[in-house]
Amino acid sequence: MSHLSESRAKEYWRRNKLLMLKLASVWFIVSFGGGVLLVDVLNHIQVGGYKLGFWFAQQGSIYTFIALIFYYARAMHKLDQAFDVEERN
Amino acid sequence: MDLTTTTYLVVGFTFAVYLGIAIWARAGSTKEFYVAGGGIHPIANGMATAADWMSAASFIGMAGLIAFMGYGGSVFLMGWTGGYVILAMLVAPYLRKYGKFTVPEFIGDRFYSDTARIVAVLCLIICSVTYVIGQMKGIGVAFSRFLETDYATGLYTGMVIVFFYAVLGGMKGITYTQIAQYCVLILAYTIPAIFISLQLTGNPIPQLGLGSTLVGTDTYLLDKLDQTVQMLGFSQYTTQTRISSLNMFAYTASLMIGTAGLPHVIIRFFTVPTVKDARSSAGWALVFIAILYTTAPAVAAMARLNIMQTIEPSPGEYLKIDERPDWFRNWENTGLLVIEDKNGDGRIQYSADAETNELVKLDRDILVLANPEIAQLPNWVIALVAAGGLAAALSTAAGLLLAISSAISHDLLKGTFMPNISEKAELNASRCAMAAAIAGAGYLGLHPPGFAAGTVALAFGLAASSIFPALMMGIFSKTVTREGAIAGMLSGIGVTLFYVFQHKGIMFVADWTYLEHLAPHWFFGIEPNAFGVFGAIVNFSVALLVSQLTSAPPERIQALVEDIRIPMGSDVAVIHP
């Protein structure tokens, strides 16, 4: 069991949830937003040979997903250190 | 050297590697058998997860789907990658912290109920068995097409290979084999793509080539493709929607949450040492998956354009049947490509109009396999593509078989019916369960039941509507009760099955539809394959409602939920009783 006080544990969880909420919004905006709901609007913008909406649906959303996961992993690692809840191994 | 000999050499070499790994990576304990000892490096696990995840459908099927659906095919690209964000943030770290061997084990413990555990085992087996049939068929087809054996011989050979490394090595053998298989399949996928991108656009990176101009012109590749398909009466490639925006939304969402609920993917994250590794490993998995998934749209568009230009080299001037290229003739022999000179002018007219279209059949699975032939690449590249397709099917089959056998030996046998079984006996039981699972999958591969065609979609729908919501409520809520979880899983799976069977027939037997199965009767125009997200909503609603009406979970469960939120201490939880 952890040595965290109840209020510290609550704070750790609150900050984790806040981070997840922020990243989930980006996740939603690029895929369901850029790739599906707003695709017609974005398709008016041309980037090289790509229509922007089409690019989000077939390329951009996937790159963003990767960035989101690594950002989350790094931010959580820092949070773990700040609250001293890292695993020792 | 002729193509068949080269293919035998390349495929034989990869199989020898897999067998070598089987002998080297034998499992000595249940921990090694179920979670590879729990010490796999996150990048290695990412690579193994990528091979586990990318099946014959991703390798052979997906680019073909996109080529003919254009923008509508994006549901697969976003759906089968976006799920990893959910896995990394909402699933993998917490289940890794909990530190057990199987997904039903967590559900059973968190919902303090053996019934919940057995319901989860049932959902797991239905998802995984339906999924594994497709892989077995893929192995049989790849053998019969490239090695010129008959379907059954190919299937048996594949079964023997999987038997060796999965029964001997369990998760440990499977993990190292999957790493080798990833290398084979990604080379096999990207090498032809690079050549084709270079030929068409002069840019060796397919992801950039797709957005470039065609060699020697100022016309962008995608614009040219849009013009060409529209001229023949098809919808514009880059804007062709799949049914409706709402349907695309639901389809993408169903695939994403299905991904995050499929047990054979989740258990891969039990093999890394720490919670921190589980988070980053999901990122690495997606990097390795994305190499194929961002190449696929380029392969799709370029192959479609290549085929169009082969058939209609200049506007209105169609290909003479006598002058068609060799790859055309080769694929006609397989029956997957069929032409019929309807107006008898000796040329192949291609059009969206079924009346005048003379390219009667163009199976979308041909695209990836024929790619190297279309681009006139050397024989070893074609042989490599065969080995890549087999690697994709074998790696996914092995991962699924492990999920099935560990559910049987660990959850049913050890967890429910014979709790006093010794470690050694459990290890033997898990080997027997694996052997039985391979035999069962082989049997179903040889005698595919009527429902085999719609199965992969069903697996995602079921995982999305049963296991994913149970995991979410187990991790994030302290108040969902055992009764709530069981009722939720059963109603989620129930309503999804009801909808799929209503439109596709009970067990996919076409005559056994009920109510009305025609598209106008779809719920808000949602196709059956995209229904998983609604099943999930039903599951959540029922579970939360029933939990309100039943007595709260015991104190120790609430402590358990608090505990899995904090990474520290997972090394203690790993030591299994």
Chain A residues closer than 8 Å to B273 by CB: 89
Which residue has better confidence, B60 or B540? B540
Which residue has better confidence, B218 or B330? B218
> Counting one residue from A and one from B, how many pairs have CB atoms under 8 Å apart?
154
- Given a contact cutoff of 8 angstroms between Cβ atoms, the answer to whether B45 and B389 are in contact is no
At B144, the pLDDT band (50, 70, 90 cuts) reads: confident
Instruction: With a cut of 90, say whether residue B121 has pLDDT above it.
Output: yes
String of b and e for B525-559 (b: at least 16 CB within 10 Å)?
Answer: ebbbbbbbbbbbebbbebbbebbeeeeebeeebee
At B61, the pLDDT band (50, 70, 90 cuts) reads: confident
Which residue has better confidence, B407 or B451? B407
Across the interface, of A31, A48, A80, the residue whose CB is closest to B252 is A31
Instruction: With a cut of 50, say whether residue B577 has pLDDT above it.
Output: no
Per-position DSSP letters for B534-577, written without gaps between them: HHHHHHHHHHHHHHHHSPPPPHHHHHHHHHHTS-TTHHHHHS--
pLDDT at B127: 85
Q: What is the C-alpha to C-alpha distance for residues B285 and B134, in angstroms, rounded to an integer? A: 22
At B140, the pLDDT band (50, 70, 90 cuts) reads: confident
Which residue does chain B place closest to A10, by CA atoms?
A: B562
Residue B531 φ/ψ, nearest 5 degrees:
-85, -15
A19 Cβ contact list (under 8 Å, min separation 6): A72, A75, A76, A79
Q: Is A84 helix (H, G, I), strand (E, B) or coil?
A: coil
Q: Which of B413, B520, B508 is nearest to B461 (CA)?
A: B508
Across the interface, of B66, B563, B565, the residue whose CB is closest to A1 is B563
Taking the CA of residue A82 and the nearest CA in chain B, the distance in Å comes to 13
Chain A residues closer than 8 Å to B567 by CB: 80, 85-87
The upper half-sphere exposure of residue B468, i.e. CA atoms within 13 Å in the direction of its Cβ, equals 33
- Percent of chain B residues past pLDDT 70, beyond the cut: 94
Chain A residues closer than 8 Å to B295 by CB: none
Chain B residues closer than 8 Å to A65 by CB: 81-82, 84-85, 286, 290
Residue whose entry in the numeric block shows the structure tokens 């694929």: B331
> In degrees, to the nearest 5, what angle opens at C-alpha B342 toward C-alphas B341 and B345?
60
Query: B77–A57: do the CB atoms touch at under 8 Å?
Result: yes
At B243, the pLDDT band (50, 70, 90 cuts) reads: confident
Mean pLDDT of the B471-492 span: 96
Across the interface, of A24, A37, A62, the residue whose CB is closest to B245 is A37
pLDDT at B454: 54
- List, in sequence order, every residue forming a beta bridge with B409; answer none if it has no partner: none
Mean pLDDT of the B226-250 span: 91
Across the interface, of B213, B275, B283, the residue whose CB is closest to A49 is B213
**Chunked in runs of 10, what are the mean pLDDT values of chain A (89 residues)?**
79 97 97 95 95 97 98 97 85
Tell me the residue type at B411: D
C-alpha distances in angstroms, B65 versus B82, B152, B367, B526, B570?
19, 27, 9, 19, 42
Query: B82–A65: do the CB atoms touch at under 8 Å?
Result: yes
| Tally of residues, chain A | 89
Query: A69–B84: do the CB atoms touch at under 8 Å?
Result: yes
Residue B338 φ/ψ, nearest 5 degrees:
-135, 130
Which residue does chain A place closest to B287, by CA atoms?
A: A66
pLDDT at B185: 96
Taking the CA of residue A29 and the nearest CA in chain B, the distance in Å comes to 12
Residue whose entry in the numeric block shows the structure tokens 């996937």: A62
pLDDT at A89: 57
- Given a contact cutoff of 8 angstroms between Cβ atoms, the answer to whether B83 and B257 are in contact is yes
ipTM for the predicted complex comes to 0.96
State CA B539 to chain mean position distance: 24
- Segments making up each domain of chain A, as ranges: 22-82
Query: A87–B571: do the CB atoms touch at under 8 Å?
Result: yes
Query: A89–B571: do the CB atoms touch at under 8 Å?
Result: yes
The mean pLDDT of chain B is 89
Query: A54–B222: do the CB atoms touch at under 8 Å?
Result: yes
What pairing do the DSSP bridges indicate for beta strands B337-338 and A50-51? unpaired
Instruction: With a cut of 70, say whether residue B201 has pLDDT above it.
Output: yes
Supply B414's token pair.
């050890």
Residue B348: DSSP 8-state: -
Q: What is the C-alpha to C-alpha distance for residues B554 and B558, in angstroms, rounded to an integer? A: 7
Which residue does chain B place closest to A19, by CA atoms?
A: B89
Which residue does chain A place closest to B82, by CA atoms?
A: A65
Instruction: With a cut of 70, say whether residue B403 has pLDDT above it.
Output: yes
Which residue does chain A place closest to B566, by CA atoms?
A: A85
Query: A2–B275: do the CB atoms touch at under 8 Å?
Result: no
Query: B239–A40: do the CB atoms touch at under 8 Å?
Result: yes
Q: Which of B94-98, B229-233, B445-449 has the highest mean pLDDT?
A: B94-98
pLDDT digits (tens, 9 = 90+) for B4-36: 899 999 999 999 999 999 889 988 899 999 999
Query: B567–A20: do the CB atoms touch at under 8 Å?
Result: no
pLDDT at B504: 66
pLDDT digits (tens, 9 = 90+) for B145-164: 778 788 888 889 989 988 88
Which residue does chain B place closest to A20, by CA atoms?
A: B89
Question: Domains along chain B?
Answer: 3-307+377-574 (1.20.1730.10), 308-374 (no CATH)
B255 Cβ contact list (under 8 Å, min separation 6): B75, B76, B78, B79, B80, B82, B83, B460, B464, B532
Taking the CA of residue B348 and the nearest CA in chain A, the distance in Å comes to 30
At B507, the pLDDT band (50, 70, 90 cuts) reads: low
- Given a contact cutoff of 8 angstroms between Cβ atoms, the answer to whether B455 and B134 are in contact is yes
Chain B residues closer than 8 Å to A29 by CB: none
Q: What is the C-alpha to C-alpha distance for residues B369 and A32, in angstroms, rounded to an integer? A: 31
At B555, the pLDDT band (50, 70, 90 cuts) reads: very high
Residue B516 φ/ψ, nearest 5 degrees:
-120, 135
Which residue does chain A place closest to B300, by CA atoms?
A: A58
Q: What is the C-alpha to C-alpha distance for residues B400 and B520, in angstroms, rounded to an integer? A: 36
pLDDT at B575: 38
pLDDT at B574: 42
pLDDT at A4: 79
